[in-house]
Chains A and B, each alone.
Chain A
Amino acid sequence: SQQGEEDPQALSIQEGENATMNCSYKTSINNLQWYRQNSGRGLVHLILIRSNEREKHSGRLRVTLDTSKKSSSLLITASRAADTASYFCATRGSTLGRLYFGRGTQLTVWP
């Protein structure tokens, strides 16, 4: 399967703490993307990291990619209650736009 798999499945933290989510995948990739989904809504793109990149930052988000281990991590620093959502990693298939998603990590940030 080309799907990514996120770990942990659920994460519960207090506001101000950092949240780290991991993603593992099985096949070689061109890029890996992270998306966020609020309950009952569509997904919102957060960040894309290419296979030749090791780390990328965007605001409070930090993504790492280790292609030798076929894994990625998403770090949200100084979390807020508004960060409560499901977070998915996605890998691209052979066709542009065909993304394969994992089951997501449900993040709950308590105020």
Chain B
Amino acid sequence: GAVVSQHPSRVICKSGTSVKIECRSLDFQATTMFWYRQFPKKSLMLMATSNEGSKATYEQGVEKDKFLINHASLTLSTLTVTSAHPEDSSFYICSANSDGRGANEKLFFGSGTQLSVL
């Protein structure tokens, strides 16, 4: 199957700092990637759809200025949590279709990033 690599796996930062999370498709090109957030024992919440070469599409209620998404190449999308606060602490996961056109509907997920803001 297609491989999605996410880095870092865990990050601890001070309140007010910014944190960047990278999501790479290793063996395929992904014109679209998706960012999810997961709270303990809760469902995954879709945050935004990252589109290569264009602006991300954010879900209702997600602050675009808080969660900056950049999809500069067909294999890399980044999520930057700006001015992080303790309430931003969560598990963030990226995913992508292996078929850049989206014809293959199953998603391949990164291993996730556990963010802890002190």
Interface residues, chain A, with chain B CB atoms under 8 Å away: 3, 31, 33, 35, 40-45, 48, 88, 92, 95-104, 106
Contacts and interface: CB of A to CB of B under 8 A. Distances in A.
Contacts of B102: 96-97
B32 interface: yes
B43 A98 contact: no
Contact of A99 (B1, B91, B107, B110): B107
**Size category, B interface:** 20 to 34
B4 to A, nearest CB: 8
Contact of A97 (B41, B42, B49, B114): B49
Contacts, number: 66
Q: For the complex, would chain B's binding face be called helix, strand, loop or mixed by DSSP majority?
A: strand
B106 A45 contact: yes
A7 B24 CA distance: 33
B114 A102 contact: no
Interface of B: 1, 4, 6, 32, 34, 36, 41-44, 46, 49, 91, 93, 95-97, 102-103, 105-112, 114
Among B1, B4, B46, B112, the most chain A Cβ lie within 10 Å of the Cβ of B46
Q: Which label, helix, strand, loop or mixed, suits the secondary structure of the A interface?
A: strand
A88 B112 CA distance: 16
Nearest to B45: A101
